Copies of this chain bind each other. A is one copy, B any other.
């Protein structure tokens, strides 16, 4: 049997397949369809200190082999998460990771500190790359100083594995990754969505309520693979790769580019059982190619 275990700092994954924040709810939404404990890790919805209503409808547009979304971090706040969601997920035998968002280093830190106290949450993913909120969000992710300021504030109060999720809407993503690394990030994940727009030409207005949204899905895969490879060669901490993964072959491509683990996002909408297919497909591929461990292929390109 191929060894699928991977480790991201203190985080032990039974396999490298995770689900991307905002695309898999709290996992519970998929439990009829997927054995949750067989997923490496489930990254839950973007969570903020205070509750957020998110943006108005329409929040979604289909595009060529992809989609734009501007959900805007709708969530009931970290307190609600701790009190109402956490009890439902804490005994499911996989890693639940909270995707933490905010509008200032302080409230990122406040939210992270709250999650630090939850025994069964071994890691957080700091979302400094959400293109769909005005306050904060991507603003921190597009400069080295902004990224550093959030990571620094959170690192002071957060003691478990700290993953920082990078925005692809930048000139030099490797610089941002290095800035996060120097402030003590344990890993980086990339990419979040590419900022895009679609226009309803009949109504002469943007299709999304807040004009722009984030592009995800197979359309962005080549950009994501390039960025993962760039960051892999720039930092020493592990890289988590995502962006358009639909198949086991896509996942292997990301791992060869330098990802120690991968996240599946939009593909869950097309095939809610895709995580299991990717996991099985990776196992088969690795076996067929005589690999003993999935770790052998990380960063070979």
Q: Which A residues contact B (CB, under 8 angstroms)?
A: 61, 63-66, 68, 142-143, 169-171, 194-199, 201, 204-206, 211-212, 215, 217-223, 225-226, 229, 244, 249, 252-253, 256-257, 285, 297, 300-301
Q: Whole-angstrom distance from the CB of A23 to the nearest CB of chain B?
A: 17
Choose among A223, A297, A300 the residue with the greatest number of B CB atoms under 10 Å from its CB: A223
Integer count of this chain's copies in the complex: 2
Q: Are B253 and A219 in contact (CB-based, < 8 A)?
A: no
> When chains A and B are docked, how far (Å) is the Cα of A143 from the Cα of B171?
9
A257 to chain B: which residues have CB within 8 Å?
Answer: 197, 199
Q: From known contacts A142-B171, A229-B197, A253-B199, infer whether A66 and B222 are also in contact, taking CB-CB under 8 Å.
A: yes
Q: Are B196 and A223 in contact (CB-based, < 8 A)?
A: yes
A61 to chain B: which residues have CB within 8 Å?
Answer: 222
- Can you sample 8 A-B contacts with CB below 8 Å? A64-B217, A65-B65, A194-B223, A196-B221, A198-B222, A205-B301, A206-B301, A219-B220
Partner of A212 from the list B212, B218, B219, B226 (CB cut-off 8 Å) is B226
Chain B residue with the shortest CB-CB distance to A143? B171
Q: Are B63 and A64 in contact (CB-based, < 8 A)?
A: no
> When chains A and B are docked, how far (Å) is the Cα of A142 from the Cα of B65?
27
Q: Are A222 and B249 in contact (CB-based, < 8 A)?
A: no
Beyond the given A170-B170, A204-B300, please list 11 additional residue pairs across the A-B interface where CB-CB is below 8 A: A64-B221, A65-B218, A65-B219, A66-B219, A66-B222, A197-B222, A197-B226, A198-B222, A198-B225, A199-B257, A199-B301
A143 to chain B: which residues have CB within 8 Å?
Answer: 171
> When chains A and B are docked, how far (Å) is the Cα of A300 from the Cα of B201?
10
Q: Whole-angstrom distance from the CB of A175 to the nearest CB of chain B?
A: 11
A219 to chain B: which residues have CB within 8 Å?
Answer: 64-66, 218-220, 222
Q: Are A221 and B170 in contact (CB-based, < 8 A)?
A: no
Q: Whole-angstrom distance from the CB of A174 to the nearest CB of chain B?
A: 12
Q: Are A195 and B226 in contact (CB-based, < 8 A)?
A: yes
Q: Are B300 and A196 in contact (CB-based, < 8 A)?
A: no
> When chains A and B are docked, how far (Å) is the Cα of A252 from the Cα of B195?
20
Q: Whole-angstrom distance from the CB of A259 to the nearest CB of chain B?
A: 11
Chain B residue with the shortest CB-CB distance to A228? B197
Q: From known contacts A171-B142, A171-B170, A257-B199, infer whether A63 and B221 are also in contact, taking CB-CB under 8 Å.
A: yes
Q: Whole-angstrom distance from the CB of A169 to the nearest CB of chain B?
A: 6
A215 to chain B: which residues have CB within 8 Å?
Answer: 222-223
Q: Are B170 and A218 in contact (CB-based, < 8 A)?
A: no
Q: Whole-angstrom distance from the CB of A156 to the nearest CB of chain B?
A: 27
A252 to chain B: which residues have CB within 8 Å?
Answer: 201
A212 to chain B: which residues have CB within 8 Å?
Answer: 226
A169 to chain B: which residues have CB within 8 Å?
Answer: 171
